[in-house]
Amino acid sequence: MQTAQRIIKSYRRRRAIVCVLAGIVALMVTLAFRFISERNLNQQRVALFTHHAVATLDRLMLPLISSRKALAPLVGVACSDVHLQLRKQAASLQTVRAIGLIENGILYCSSIFGNRNVPIHQLQPALPASQPLLVLSTDQSLLKDRPVLIMWYPTTPDGQSGVIEAVNIELLSSLMLEPQAPLITGVILSVAGRHLVHGKSVLTDLPLLADEKRYQRASQNFPFTVSVSGPGSTRLALRHLPSQLPLALMMGLLTGFIAWFATANRMSFSREINLGLAGREFALFCQPLVHAQSLQCVGVEILLRWHNPRQGWISPEVFIPIAEDQHLIARLTRYVLIETKRQLHLFPADAHFHIGVNVAPSHIRHGELLKDLHRLWFTGRPVQQLTIELTERDALLDVDPRMMRELHRYGVKIAIDDFGTGNSSLSWLEKLHPDILKIDKSYTAAIGTDAVNSTVTDMIIALGQRLNIELVAEGVETQQQAQHLRQQGVQTLQGFLFAVPMPIEDFPDWLAGNTAPPARQNDQVAPLIPG
């Protein structure tokens, strides 16, 4: 059996866990989103950088192809006749450092030096060649050992004659291939197995990577590749992830707060009550009331029991106060009225047979109970006497006496349940004019003892008799108690001495003289759930 504090604490703990988990998930999702976003952005930046470098170099070198038509006819012509034209062509191309004409493997004319007589293979060992070539090398004539990119166009089938154009690649690399730390720490231009590292000379082997990643893009127009190296998009994004933690924490806290408010109804005991009503998890029990003299059953008190498949048996002492706090007590009362009316055939069809239903005073306000009785009870024209048992949990002073008069007008009897334990007052006894006072079991248990409650019990009995109010003693468990109450003039007795609360469908067997069945839990004999 669970207490109200335990079950509410359990729900709050579960709700808090859900909110914390929601906040953690939001934090992790935010970090993951920021990580993926930054990683993708880094990848895009690397791709854009290499694309821009290749496209720019392509755009600067494409005019060199167009210049072939103008330069090829000059091969073999005397240098004095074409020198000026070579200089004009070199100046128009802008990126070209020098243009040279080669005949039979001899560089005989240069746009810078004019007449020359140097075997081309001494300057560039890869030349002459029978196929057009793009050569990354070092300058051996103008700027010694400085990087140079040479384009070779043969003009004869044997490749011994042709045109070379030396591109000022060092200047271009400083403009287009400059690293962008921390994403890009190194940029390399690779041509035919030779590599120009930004800020360094031409190398024959690619530099080894020190825990870095390399990304390459090749030109679609020329045989060169641009490579970039750096820590990698993923590693860089992870390195910057701590800077996203404040945002992620804010998102986690915000999500946690939203989850807390969103789960106020979905993860609360009031929701469990609503689910229980919808799933018909509540069962009706009843406890007989017997005449003090004849010991004949004169009525029953309808009790509500709840076997929650998620929590097990839940005591009325747990769910009734919570239902009152959450304004769900009226729904429970309507459920009891509906189920009781549906099973009225289980009770004697006698106008003197009392059927007591517990009602909270809050349900009576504004005529709500009267409307429910018209809709749910009186339509069935029940023969039995309906008794509304008001509990003293709420202040009965708030009950409108006019509603009491209306209930009396429709033949409903009013009983004050657990009399003496709540906000008892002679003034509201006069205002409400109850028909029945039910003496609380704590006073019944004091009978035969020297406790103060024993004297109070006799005072309550005397008060009821003086006001001509019928008395019902609850919690009668011994013959001594029953004898004393009988002698004091109490009309009706209720307690374990006569019957324990039983499922309503078992009442006919008990009434026929069978032994009252014990309270059941999971189809096994179990301690009684408090009424």
Q: How many CA atoms are closer than 13 Å to the CA of 154, on its beta-carbon side?
A: 15
User: Which pLDDT belongs to residue 303?
Assistant: 94
pLDDT of 452 over the 80 cut: no
517 versus 6: the higher-pLDDT residue is 6
The answer to whether 393 and 360 are in contact (CB under 8 A) is yes
Report the C-alpha gap between 360 and 379 in whole angstroms: 22
User: Which pLDDT belongs to residue 7?
Assistant: 61
Smallest Cα–Cα separation from 438: which of 516, 531, 352, 500? 531
pTM of the predicted model as reported, rounded to 2 decimal places:
0.55
pLDDT above 90 covers what percent of the chain? 29
In the predicted model, what is the mean pLDDT of the chain?
83
pLDDT of 3 over the 70 cut: no
Report the C-alpha gap between 469 and 416 in whole angstroms: 10
User: Which pLDDT belongs to residue 281?
Assistant: 85
User: Which pLDDT belongs to residue 508?
Assistant: 94
User: Which pLDDT belongs to residue 90?
Assistant: 84
Q: What average pLDDT does the segment 353-381 reach?
A: 89
User: Which pLDDT belongs to residue 517?
Assistant: 43
Among 43-47, 195-199, 213-217, 300-304, which stretch is predicted with the lowest mean pLDDT?
Answer: 195-199
pLDDT of 56 over the 90 cut: no
End-to-end CA distance of the chain: give it in Å, rounded.
13
User: Which pLDDT belongs to residue 418?
Assistant: 79
User: Which pLDDT belongs to residue 499?
Assistant: 92
pLDDT of 52 over the 90 cut: no
Best mean pLDDT range from 250-259, 267-276, 354-363: 354-363
Q: CA torsion sign, 337 to 339 to 345 to 346?
A: negative
Residues contacting 301, CB < 8 A, separation 6+: 286, 287, 289, 356, 358, 389, 494, 531
Which residue reads 């009995």 in tokens? 461
pLDDT of 154 over the 90 cut: yes
Report the C-alpha gap between 299 and 344 in whole angstroms: 12
User: 91-136 pLDDT, tens per residue?
Assistant: 888 778 889 999 999 999 998 888 999 998 888 888 899 899 998 8
pLDDT of 189 over the 90 cut: no
pLDDT-based confidence at 302, cuts 50/70/90?
very high
User: 476-530 pLDDT, tens per residue?
Assistant: 999 999 999 999 999 999 999 999 999 999 999 999 885 444 443 433 333 333 3
Task: Please spell the DSSP secondary structure of 247-290, one letter per residue.
Answer: HHHHHHHHHHHHHHHHHHHHTSHHHHHHHHHHTT-EEEEEEEEE
Among 205-209, 270-274, 373-377, 419-423, which stretch is predicted with the lowest mean pLDDT?
Answer: 419-423
- Beta partners for 473? 439, 493
Phi-psi region of 136 (alpha: psi -120 to 50; beta: other; left: phi over 0): beta
pLDDT of 381 over the 80 cut: yes
Q: What average pLDDT does the segment 423-436 reach?
A: 72
Smallest Cα–Cα separation from 152: which of 172, 118, 126, 170? 126
pLDDT of 241 over the 80 cut: yes
Report the C-alpha gap between 167 and 93 in whole angstroms: 10
User: Which pLDDT belongs to residue 108?
Assistant: 93
pLDDT of 39 over the 90 cut: no
pLDDT of 308 over the 70 cut: yes
Q: Decide the pairing of beta strands 470-473 and 436-439.
A: parallel
Among 13-22, 266-275, 350-359, which stretch is predicted with the lowest mean pLDDT?
Answer: 266-275
pLDDT of 397 over the 70 cut: no
DSSP 328: -
